Structure 1
Amino acid sequence: MDNAGLFDQETLPGESVTFTPTRAAGLARLEKFLSRTAQHYERNRNYDFGPERRSNISVLSPWIRHRLITEEDVLKLTLARHSPSSAEKFIQEVFWRGYFKGWLEQHPSVWINYKRDLTQKLDDLAGNSFANADYLTAIEGRTGIDCFDTWAHELIETGYLHNHTRMWFASIWVFTLGLPWQLGADFFMQHLLDGDPASNTLSWRWVSGLHTKGKSYLARPSNIAKFTDGRFDPVGQLSPTAVPLIEDFDHPSLPIPASDALPDAPFVLLVTPEDCQAPALWADKATNVLALPTPKQDRQSDRVHAFKTKALQDSVAGWDATLLTSDWIMQIIETARAANTHHIVTAYVPIGPDADQLNTANTAFAEAGMQLHRVRRPYDTLTWPQANKGFFKVKKQIPKILHGLGLAC
């Protein structure tokens, strides 16, 4: 749809968003977004008016990312306010995260290779002063490309970028600046409050021409000028072509790991920042509630680490939970033994650093006679298997998935 002339008809109010890592704040933002017409979102969602004018998009991703509010929360409340047809575009956007999650679960080698390649790219920077200078120029917003530099600063200062802007930024990073996509993906993960291993990794691969082989994304000055409402117009500054990257490896498709059942016996509940609503599902059945903070990762911003930590604390408030420390594996084992149980339950943790951490710990759990139950939510169970090709297959199944969740439309 051509939106030229839209702003003669509609004035979008100024609206910044404060990312408070609590469920209450997430629900308040959702309510504010849903109070507008669905057409308001559909007409304006691709425009980035800057961090002070966010009324055209939901900006819910930091809360959904950590499941302070869940996809099912968003879908249920959306369909209570809007018809499925009028909210169709927004509902589809909600399912993109599930698509990326499901696709990566079925192609785990993508994550393994990304971690390996990122380590190599960082080592290359350490040994090449010229490459390191180019990298620092980009992440410090000193390239001379006004839009790119502004977005680099906005990312660092706010922890957020509009989705359309993320695509432009990644395209400029790869095809204009000639920097490795892995370093760009890592830069996003350092600073995005909604940084998600699946969505982020696969989006950078898609822009680069690796996710959909041979199909890359080119950031065009005219597109940037239009969808930033004239704030930027980088004519003559961007690469006119985006030759897709290639890799000499085909990532095999594997079955999604099975979800464990909730044990029919006493258990300890382990809560991670991957699913901050797990206590609402199972805390009243658990002997103990343990909260596992994500250790601050290399290069991770203080803002991102604080958001994850406070989100986890909010999730277990009122449940008499224990916040685990650096010796968390033994703490879990000793807590389970004191409760006379060998069952540990956690909400299924998708591929990423937290899953890597749990996979390592599971060896110690097994040696201590403990069993880790990774219980998957119905939303993921219904959505992920559809994500074995492109998003179109997931989109076609949305009515069926909503029906399976009791949200028939």
Structure 2
Amino acid sequence: MSFLLKAQNTWENFAKYKINDYAKLRNFDFGPNNESSVSKLSPFITHRILSEYELIHDIKSKYKIKNSTKFVEEIFWRVYWKGWMENRPKVWRNFISENNLDFDYELYESAINGNTELDYFNSWVHELKQYNYLHNHTRMWFASTWIFNLGLPWQLGAKFFFKYLFDGDASSNLLSWRWVGGLQTKGKQYLFSSSNLRKFSNNRFKVEKISNQQIFLEESNQIPFEDEIYKNDMDPKSDNLIMFENDLHLATLKNLLPSYKKVFIILLKNEQRQIKLSESVLKFKQDLVSEFLEQFDNVEQIDPYSLENNFKNTNEIDIIYPGVGENYDFITEFKNLHQKKIFNLVRDEDLFAWKFAKRGFFKFKENIPKINQRILENFSKK
């Protein structure tokens, strides 16, 4: 079964049979081998096999689901995190450049290998490595344990998630770790109790007491607003296009890509990455790219090392904007090193929604009706 078909089937099954109970059951993690109360769509959304706006449009027009408020809100959290990061890209730059961390290396090795004295934490480590996925509530437990119980730097935990998660995108993963640690919402840390763990793990983990250290994280660098992203649109500017594996939305790209002389897809190898990925995650990404390539005659995957040779006679290049993160860092370095002019093609829905993500989520939430209207208008044009 193709990834697109699997994504669509997963979405259809969730929309028809599970979404009505989502608000009530979403915090329960019944284990990796049991029927989940969540959609498990995140690996597909992260790579835009399905888009956030597509799901929202389906809920409101195709399925006309009444009890979907909580699920829609969670989808919008993903949009909000992206927008928050786009408005403050220095958060990523600070994170990726902070290498002088002080920590107990032996404890860190025990943690990443699931050999700590905490059986529940060890279980999550092994589950993450085996399935490349963790339930969202379990991710919060994991991050809280990593920071406040084990006392390890949150940055290392976020990188550990990036390494193994199929859905490890820069905004949702990084900002969620910051939120748990008390950096995202100043002073508001996420700590959990043994009763919370017992209840929402469906009694799989029974612990008498959760022991936490008194740890208070602080932001060491100022984070200014930046607005360069809003100077872009989706109109082609050159004859050649570069795209990456985290935006493979066939429905909206099938009309755009044939207009280019040549389209190149780049999947970064670990040699070009600042955060190394596991073999399973790299394979997952490669399989997504390979499937996408089959849909077009003018789309070719190229080795990142061959980029200079492919564009040695071209000074202007369009890219499907990959968002703040590894891919954009790579293409920015290439642009600066070889003095190329890069045009970011950014989706209208993204640009419209992100401008409301400059403050907290509840301020963003006030504008969701406007974003919904924009989504409806854009889909009616397609």
Q: TM-score, normalised by structure 1?
A: 0.85
1:166-205 equivalences in 2 (<5 Å): 166-205=139-178
Give 1:106 deviation, angstroms: 1.4
Q: 1:259·1:374 contact (CA, 8 Å) conserved in 2?
A: no
Aligned to 1:257: 229
Worse overlay, 273-282 or 343-352: 273-282
1:234-253 equivalences in 2 (<5 Å): 234-239=207-212, 243-253=215-225
Q: Indicate whether 1:216 and 2:189 are aligned.
A: yes
Q: Please state whether the residue corresponding to 1:373 is helix, strand or coil.
A: strand
Deviations 1:286-331 (A, max 9, x none): 1112111122245410011111122122222221222111433224
Aligned to 2:368: 398
Aligned to 1:303: 280
Worse overlay, 258-267 or 82-91: 258-267
Q: 2:29·2:201 contact (CA, 8 Å) conserved in 1?
A: yes
Aligned to 1:164: 137
Aligned to 1:329: 307
Query: Once superposed, what is the RMSD of the aligned Cα atoms?
Result: 2.2
What are structure 2's unaligned runs of at least 5 residues? none
Q: 2:114·2:123 contact (CA, 8 Å) conserved in 1?
A: yes
Give 1:134 deviation, angstroms: 0.2
Q: Could you tell me how far apart the structure 1 residues matched to 2:320 and 2:173 are? A: 21
Deviations 1:131-169 (A, max 9, x none): 211001111111121211100100011100001110110
Deviations 1:66-108 (A, max 9, x none): 1111112211222235446511111111111111111111112
Q: Indicate whether 1:373 and 2:343 are aligned.
A: yes
Q: Please state whether the residue corresponding to 2:367 is helix, strand or coil.
A: helix
Give 1:342 deviation, angstroms: 5.4
Q: Could you tell me how far apart the structure 2 residues matched to 1:264 and 1:179 are? A: 46
Worse overlay, 90-99 or 325-334: 325-334
Aligned to 2:258: 284
Q: Could you tell me how far apart the structure 1 residues matched to 2:224 and 2:302 are? A: 36
Aligned to 1:153: 126
User: Equivalent of 2:329, from 353, 356, 362?
Assistant: 356
Q: Percent identity?
A: 34
In 2 relative to 1, CA 373–150 (structure 1 residues): closer, same or farther, beyond 3 Å? same
Q: Counterpart amino acid of 1:191?
A: Y
Aligned to 1:318: 295
Give 1:363 deviation, angstroms: 2.4
Aligned to 1:294: 268
Q: Indicate whether 1:268 and 2:240 are aligned.
A: yes
Q: Indicate whether 1:120 and 2:100 are aligned.
A: yes
Q: Please state whether the residue corresponding to 2:319 is helix, strand or coil.
A: strand
Q: 1:262·1:345 contact (CA, 8 Å) conserved in 2?
A: no
Q: Please state whether the residue corresponding to 1:406 is helix, strand or coil.
A: helix
Q: Please state whether the residue corresponding to 1:56 is helix, strand or coil.
A: coil
In 2 relative to 1, CA 107–262 (structure 1 residues): closer, same or farther, beyond 3 Å? closer
Worse overlay, 160-169 or 389-398: 389-398
Q: Could you tell me how far apart the structure 1 residues matched to 2:262 and 2:51 are? A: 23
Give 1:402 deviation, angstroms: 1.0
Q: Could you tell me how far apart the structure 1 residues matched to 2:27 and 2:52 are? A: 21
Q: Could you tell me how far apart the structure 2 residues matched to 1:171 and 1:261 are? A: 39
Q: TM-score, normalised by structure 2?
A: 0.91
The number of aligned residues is 372
Q: Indicate whether 1:22 and 2:39 are aligned.
A: no
Q: 2:242·2:318 contact (CA, 8 Å) conserved in 1?
A: yes
